[in-house]
Chain A
Amino acid sequence: MQFWALIVDSFRESRDRKIFWVMLLIEVLVLAAMACVGFSPGKVTILFGMWEVKTDYFTTGFAIRTDRIATIAVQFLMDVVVGWVGVTLALIATAGFFPSLVERGAVDILLAKPLSRAKLFLGKYVGSMVFVLLHAAFFIVFSCVIVGLRWHAWLPGYLWSIPLLVILFSYVYCVSAWAGIRFRSPVVAINISVAAWVFFAGIQATGDMFETFPEWKENRLAYNSVLVARWCVPKTHDITYLAAKWSGAAVSTEMVPQAHVEEKDRPAVERAGRSELERMNINPFYTIGTSLGFEVIVVILAMWRFARSDY
């Protein structure tokens, strides 16, 4: 009963923020834009048939080609629209949750209730996840349906993006929660969590560069340092690879028509394709497990601080 009350309260708090509705508006606009475009054999329709563009691309192998386009689109949605823009907006929307929790006058009443401080903290934390879960579910379910109905490509694996997105958000949000408790300021919480996110992505990108250019591995100290750091921090970018993999997305270099690749560029394109394939074949237990390990440690630190403070 207590946990449920905290989750409902977190949802009400998020709903009260303007950014909740801004996010919803962006989601609706993107979904509407997707729905405007339809693919049919031999043509592309825009604005529900107001314009038609005839193309030979869809004349043969229609199903395979729309599938390819759909997987590229959902990859883009997951990586950019939902991954970067969505998570950033969600971080902004939820950054005030913990500072408002520990606000003098508000926290007094909550701490005087018969529930432990750990439970109170976790209730608020999970409540923030519910906010993201609802947005993610709304956007991904509807985009999945639109892609199916309008583009004739059914990608049930794309629905895996819902829990993956919540997990991705939680990797960064744990830092925001800690900063919110520590500094009691939403602005500081946003800045620190975004900085942490950029740092995580930077470590991942550096690791990817070592895989793309194996000759860099000759510098053993640098390589080993990056490996250790990569193991420790949340693998935010790997989540988008996992989402792409489970959505059935193809490697992006496969999309490039072979006839357009010059002979001298062929080895580089093949190497990039292999590297991308390797990243998409990453072990989900390793990726999610080690990242959740980081999250658990940060949450325990934040919870400890919350439990040991006077208000």
Chain B
Amino acid sequence: MVALTEMTNWAVDLIDVRKTYAKNIYALRGVNIQVGRGEIFGLLGPNGAGKTTLVKIMMTVVRPTRALGTILGRPLGHRGKLARTGYLPENHRFPGYLTGLQLLDYYAALAKVPSATRRRNARKLLDQLGLSQWGDVRIDKYSKGMMQRLGIAQALMNDPELIVLDEPTDGLDPVGRRDVRQLLLELRREGKTVFLNSHLLSELEMVCDRVAILVEGLVARQGTLSELTEHTVEYRITFSGDARPLKNKLAGLHAAVDGDMVILSGHDAAKVNAVIDLLRGQGILIESVQPHRFSLEDILVEAMGLTVPQPQGRERQRADRAS
């Protein structure tokens, strides 16, 4: 029976996870999330959406009000499976009296890693994360970025199947962030599952296979990046001339004039051509035609029920080019 449950394709299969704090504060209101084995999964949402609470429930730090589902094939809250899980919490605090090596050894011992493996893995990970010279230095001498790297190293000490990282690039400089991204991709290549909670949407876009957007304790969207963005495409046609007389005709084609730009929702090429014909028929000079796919940030803002802020005219075009 155990063997069968462990064979599930989902590394994380959360069903109806709820957490209510005292005085009827609903942190999570029935979250369903599935994370496939060997993928990098991103959890995003605004502050107070319940992301960290969900991560803490997965790691048994917080007790759910109600929760079904499995992690690595074992029921949520099962302690044994934690030996195969690595975790880096947000704003972690390490004991300053330990050296880097002592810290890695301590946490790995708690994760039941044999002594010889601990020594080998500690050196390897410190080297991999650029801390090889700092292994024997007390942690209270570390910078914030170094502390973050050490946190990632401790999460990997037990060679976990599932790695849960809460804001892993917090405090890291651009080079450090790139290193972490490469490490995550390397972990995926090794077949490990990464569950990533980050507010840096651009980073999630760069590494995640699938994402879920959590809003007010519920999953608003979930899927691959292309699934989430396939219906969120628009064409932006910039021109020189006066398009105001065409406003009504353009509206008939679901297009709108915005300064010196016409915005056409959807990805219907025939409509794009019709709009171009209409503009040229009026003697307007077409300067550019650009398809525009929504970013993760746009999707998040939309999921939160807010209006996606639109830059105006050429300013908008510059922003698109820059992105």
**A104 at interface, CB cutoff 8 A:** yes
- Of all chain B residues, the one with the shortest Cβ separation from A4 is B109
Name which of A12-20, A22-30, A48-56 contacts chain B: A12-20
Stretch at the interface among A112-120, A155-163, A282-290: A112-120
Contact with A along B82-112 (1 / 0, CB 8 A): 1101010111111111100010001101111
The closest CB in chain A to the CB of B138 belongs to A16
- Interface bin, chain B: 20 to 34
**Known A5-B106, A15-B97, A114-B80: A108·B61 in contact at CB below 8 Å:** yes
On whether the beta carbons of A110 and B110 are closer than 8 Å, the reply is yes
Q: Provided the pairs A5-B110, A12-B98, A310-B61 are in contact, do residues A105 and B79 lie with their beta carbons within 8 angstroms?
A: no
Q: Within 8 Å of chain B (Cβ to Cβ): is A256?
A: no
24 contacts between A and B (CB under 8 A): A5-B106, A6-B110, A12-B95, A12-B102, A13-B95, A16-B96, A100-B95, A105-B93, A106-B92, A106-B94, A106-B95, A108-B56, A108-B92, A109-B87, A113-B82, A113-B111, A114-B79, A114-B81, A114-B111, A114-B112, A115-B110, A308-B63, A310-B56, A311-B62
A2 in contact with B89 given A112-B59, A112-B60 (CB within 8 Å): no
Q: Which 9 A-B pairs have the closest CB atoms?
A: A16-B97, A5-B109, A105-B93, A108-B89, A112-B59, A113-B110, A114-B82, A114-B83, A112-B87
Expressed in whole angstroms, the Cα–Cα distance for A111 and B77 within the complex equals 11
Complex contacts, B238 vs chain A, CB 8 Å: none
Query: B154 at the A/B interface (Cβ < 8 Å)?
Result: yes
Residues of chain A contacted by B85 (CB below 8 angstroms): 112
0/1 interface trace, chain A 83-115, chain B, CB 8 Å (1 if under) = 000000000000000001001111111111111
Q: A residues touching B (Cβ–Cβ < 8 Å)? A: 1-2, 4-6, 8-9, 12-13, 15-16, 100, 103-116, 308, 310-311
Closest to A16 in B: B97
Contact string against A for B residues 241-266, beta-carbon threshold 8 Å, 1 for contact and 0 otherwise: 00000000000000000000000000
Task: Establish whether residues B91 and A104, one from each chain, have CB atoms under 8 Å apart when the complex forms.
Answer: yes
Q: A9 to B110, alpha carbons, bound, how many Å?
A: 11
In the complex, which residues of chain A have a beta carbon less than 8 angstroms from the beta carbon of B96?
16
CB distance from A51 to the nearest CB of B (A): 44
**In whole angstroms, how far apart are the Cα atoms of A109 and B81 in the complex?**
15
Residues on A with beta carbons closer than 8 Å to the beta carbon of B98: 9, 12
Distance to closest chain A CB from B37 (angstroms):
20
- Contact status A109-B107, CB under 8 Å: yes
Min CB gap B203→A, angstroms: 22
